Amino acid sequence: MTEQENPEREQYNYESLDEILEEVKKEDYDKVGLQGPDGIKPELIEIADELREHDIEPVMVGASTFGACGIANEKVERMGADALIHVGHTRFLHPEKADMKDFDVYYLPYREDRDLMGVLEEHYEEIEAEKVGLVGVTQYMDRADKAREFLRDKGFEVVEGKTGLRTTEPGQVLGCDAGAAHNIAHKVDAFVFLGSGHFHPSQVSETGKEVYVVDPYEKHIWVEPANSLGDEMQAEIARVMKHKDKKKWGIVTSSKKGQNYMRAVEIAKEKLEEHGKEVYIFVEDRIFESDYKGYGIDIYVNCACPRMTKDWRDLAFVSPKALDALDEVEEMETK
């Protein structure tokens, strides 16, 4: 049953542990799982201590999590937990509509305590656009209203962001979902992005617009050029061309609920088979290059999280989209 067909199990993003404790007590749960990303391990211990103070036994998930795509419900359920507190991210909507609500998960997004507004106030004049779309990552979306008001006061036309395919906060983007930006791209000259690093802004740049990154780590506003992922796609196409005559191809997917896209796997498999390839499908929780060495397969299609294969050095990986290059080669050869 899909999440949409099973609406009675409501799950929400919470702004405080107190709110979650209230819910957990209402349900009379006495053991709950706890998971979060690498950067906040000390905070996770504090949360575990607080749960214990309320006579709730915490079960900690050892591996860090990169997104709510990786909720560890099965692991904590095996340990007898009644529910899971997922710290760091907002609830994730599955793009293939798999049920993400078959276990009680309380989402406590992590809000980064850095001076985002200070950076915006000091550097906003560097934004060379009149109409902007406001987007960002969960860590700063609690300040989106303030940022919007500030920019409007300074004369910018700010277009409200919508939610994406997998996100639940307006304007929020993930490394695998910049839908919030794509939805409003036709109405804006550029995007203002609340956050840091290139991974997320580069996804937003796929809208064809420049992205002004209000970066509280670098303490300034820098620009991600439009379509900056173009080079990455070119590199993927070059890998497809290099291995186009190889017989054996692999497809990797993840057993993490939010990264398990069986439809994408089927489509990639069909396409490869149409081109006469022998296809092997692999599944693993986290995807490490070393696990895929030794099979005699040189090229893998990543149908899980796009960031998983970015640090592969010896084996080739490509996204499903890059497989279109095989069609183009065939077309050229039959002309």
- Using an 8 Å Cβ cutoff, are 47 and 30 in contact? no
- Among residues 207 and 260, whose Cβ is nearest to ligand SF4? 260
**What tokens appear for 40 in the block?**
């906040």
- Among residues 287 and 325, whose Cβ is nearest to ligand SF4? 287
**Of the candidate residues 14, 66, 106, 107, the single one contacting ligand SF4 (CB under 6 A):** 66
Q: Which residues pair with 249 in a beta bridge?
A: 279
- 3 state SS of 266: helix
Q: In angstroms, what is the minimal distance from the CB of 92 to ligand SF4?
A: 6
Q: Does 61 bind ligand SF4 (CB under 6 A)?
A: no
Q: In angstroms, what is the minimal distance from the CB of 200 to ligand SF4?
A: 9
Distant-in-sequence, close-in-space partners of 226: CB < 8 Å, separation ≥ 6: 205, 207, 208, 209, 210, 211
CA dist., res. 193 & res. 330, Å (int): 40
Site residues (CB under 6 A) for ligand SF4, limited to 223-282: 258-259
- Among residues 159 and 224, whose Cβ is nearest to ligand SF4? 224
Q: In angstroms, what is the minimal distance from the CB of 280 to ligand SF4?
A: 22
Concatenating the DSSP letter of every residue in 173-204 gives -BTTB-HHHHTTGGG-SEEEEES-SSHHHHHH
- Among residues 127 and 305, whose Cβ is nearest to ligand SF4? 305
CA dist., res. 201 & res. 115, Å (int): 19
Amino acid at 11: Q
**Of the candidate residues 105, 141, 151, 305, the single one contacting ligand SF4 (CB under 6 A):** 305
CA dist., res. 228 & res. 38, Å (int): 28
Q: Does 34 bind ligand SF4 (CB under 6 A)?
A: no
Q: Does 175 bind ligand SF4 (CB under 6 A)?
A: yes
**Of the candidate residues 244, 307, 315, 320, the single one contacting ligand SF4 (CB under 6 A):** 307
Q: In angstroms, what is the minimal distance from the CB of 41 to ligand SF4?
A: 18
Q: Give the binding site for ligand SF4 (CB under 6 A).
A: 66-67, 69, 174-176, 258-259, 305-307
